[in-house]
Structure 1
Amino acid sequence: MENISLLLSEALAPYQASLGREGSRGERLVTLKDVTGAIVIERMFTADQLRDKRQLTDVVDGLHRDLMVAEGRIEPCVIAAMRDRAFVAPAFA
């Protein structure tokens, strides 16, 4: 799991990622800290999400999105609107 922490830190630079202790079901708390050491984001992920390459990609994408919200670069309502548009089928086919 130490490799996962390093991979997350590289993918989410300049933020430092760390993994908390394993929970009773294998879940882990991922903490992202900024360059001053302040906690920016904490999220719980399952062991499968952190071990499976595809799911880990989704974890990184989600954390990138959360960082954009935390930094004020994107509003949560924009994300909701984008999701709604993704579910709408084209009017012409």
Structure 2
Amino acid sequence: MERVCSLLNDALTPYLTALGAVDASGNRQLTLYDPRGAVTLQRQVAARQLVDQHLLVDLVDGLHRDLQIAEGRLQPCVIAALQHQRHDQGTFA
């Protein structure tokens, strides 16, 4: 898990990450701290997200998006509009 924490810290700089202990369901609490040490995000993550490279990349992408929302740089409605637009472009009439 040290390697995963190191990868997460590198991918999410300047934020620091901490992984909690495994719970009864096999999940871990992932906490992101800003440079001042304040909690910015907390998320339950499944163990498989931390060992499968594709799922780990998806997790980091989601965390980047959530950080943008938390920082006020991206509004959730913008994400929904972009996803809707992407869906509409993929269908043929």
TM-score of the superposition, structure 1-length normalised?
Answer: 0.92
Q: Which runs of 5+ in 2 are unaligned?
A: none
Q: Percent identity?
A: 47
CA distance in 1 between counterparts of 2:43 and 2:54 reads 18
What is the deviation of 1:87? 1.6
Q: By how many angstroms is 1:89 displaced? A: 3.9
Q: Which residue of 2 aligns with 1:20?
A: 20
Deviation per CA, 1:10-40, whole angstroms, max 9, x where unpaired?
A: 1000000110110112111110000110000
Q: Which moved more, 1:79-88 or 1:67-76?
A: 79-88
Which consecutive segments of 4 or more residues in structure 1 shift more than 6 A?
A: none
Structure 2 CA distance for aligned equivalents of residues 60 and 36 of structure 1: 21
Distance 1:61 1:12 in 2: 10
How many correspondences in the alignment? Answer: 93
Report the Cα distance in structure 1 between the residues aligned to 2:24 and 2:56, rounded to whole angstroms: 20
Q: Kindly provide the CA deviation profile for residues 21-76 of structure 1, in whole angstroms up to 9, marking residues without a partner as x.
A: 10112111110000110000001110011110000000000000000001111111
Normalising by structure 2, report the TM-score.
0.92
